[in-house]
Structure 1
Amino acid sequence: MEEKPFTTGSYKEFLESGRLMANRCRSCGDVHLPPRPICPRCGGRSLEWMEIQGRGTLQAFTVVHVPPIRLRGRQPYATGIVKLEGGPRISGLILDVKRGEDMNVGAEVEGVIVREEDGAKLCFRLV
């Protein structure tokens, strides 16, 4: 598909262009996000880019009231672990949620690419 190296830099370039890309090991089929140059499952080096939709299921979450410095002013905010459809588990901000009572484990989410001053980021929104 693409001839870019399997690096975080390439992943961020794809996000900037509005595409959510992961990489898949051709040997064992494991999917990685962010991409990795070597498959952590089997050690394979034969990898390929694949575009994913970013839909998934919320597996864990928390609402943060005392944020790190770079997120000051956004609190409270939610963050969670999402199991992507056909892909890995990743963590990310859950947009538009301020209270834990507003979401639950097992909730469906969709990926949203958010552009900020320091670049594009993958976040999630409840479906």
Structure 2
Amino acid sequence: MGADGANPIHLIILVGDSDRQWLEPVYVNKNIKPMGRIGVIIPPGPDDPRMLLDACLAFAPELFLECRSLIPLMVKLKEYKRLDFDHNNPDIADDWDRLRQEARPIFQRFSLWECDFKKLGNDSRWRVAPTPDLD
């Protein structure tokens, strides 16, 4: 179960921004494995509406085992370390589009949460662990 007592958190997907946006996984459930050795995906553009679906497919394919095109694509991607949809992977474009279509109904059942991280700064109050009041 998750901290709310109802929604288990299996996977956290971090989104980074630089000259291009990227997504990378943090596995809470260590039994979940990515397609091949994929550790990062780059969406077609910033905040692309397909990027979370793509990330879930790449980082947690076992959630989509009922998709017929999944296993053949996993075989094709077994040596990939990243998927770059911005600069395209033309050798998998048609297969990936087919998988997206098959996976969309499954993905729509997922509970997704969003949170923003913000830097706390270098203030020393964040660097010292509180000491319990023993009185």
TM-score (norm. length: structure 1): 0.24
Choose between structure 1 and 2: higher strand proportion: 1
Looking at CA atoms only, which structure, 1 or 2, has the larger radius of gyration?
2
